[in-house]
Structure 1
Amino acid sequence: MTLAEILRAVDEGLPVHWQNPGYLVERPVGGDACVIRSLCTGHCIGLTWADGVTLNGKEEEFFVGDGTTLLPVM
């Protein structure tokens, strides 16, 4: 997925994952930039580098999930 496709899917409320269903792309409440959050640890990294364009991952590693990912209790 391209950056534009990822952002559009997130804004539409679709579950976008990176590498596997354990990583979810989210836009924090009140935030402009998206993050990639580990569903196991809660740790986050930016979706992009500081330039706001370069993805922290390869385009082919991002995908829209089917909505069946179970979220851990934190």
Structure 2
Amino acid sequence: MTLLEIKAAVDAGHRVHWANSGYRVNRDRLGQYLILFTRTGDAIGLTDQTGTRLNGAPDEFFIGETAEEAAQ
């Protein structure tokens, strides 16, 4: 996924993950996109300080199932 695709998916309410479902991309109340490790709450920025290069390979980001989809 590209940076723009990731941001659009998060803004649309999709669950975007990096590498595995334990890492989730969130947008905080300040508008920052973060990669959150769900078990500990630790987070890093989605991009480097320039805001242009992902902190992870583009092919490692994916959209996961929503709770409703998983229940079906």
Q: TM-score, normalised by structure 2?
A: 0.89
Structure 1 runs, 4 residues or longer, greater than 4 Å off: none
Unaligned runs of 5+ in 1: 69-74
**1:32, distance to aligned residue in structure 2 (A):** 2.2
Question: In structure 1, how many angstroms separate the alpha carbons of the residues matched to 2:38 and 2:17?
Answer: 10
Aligned equivalent of 1:6: 6
Give the count of matched residue pairs: 67
Structure with a larger share of its residues in helix: 2
Distance 2:47 2:5 in 1: 14
Percent identity for Structure 1 against Structure 2: 48
**Who is 2:41 aligned against?**
42
Distance in 1, matches of 2:32 and 2:7, equals 9
- Pairwise CA distance, 1:67: 1.8
**Cα deviation code 1:3-59 (max 9, x no counterpart):** 000000000000000000000000012x22200000111000000000001000000
TM-score by length of 1: 0.87
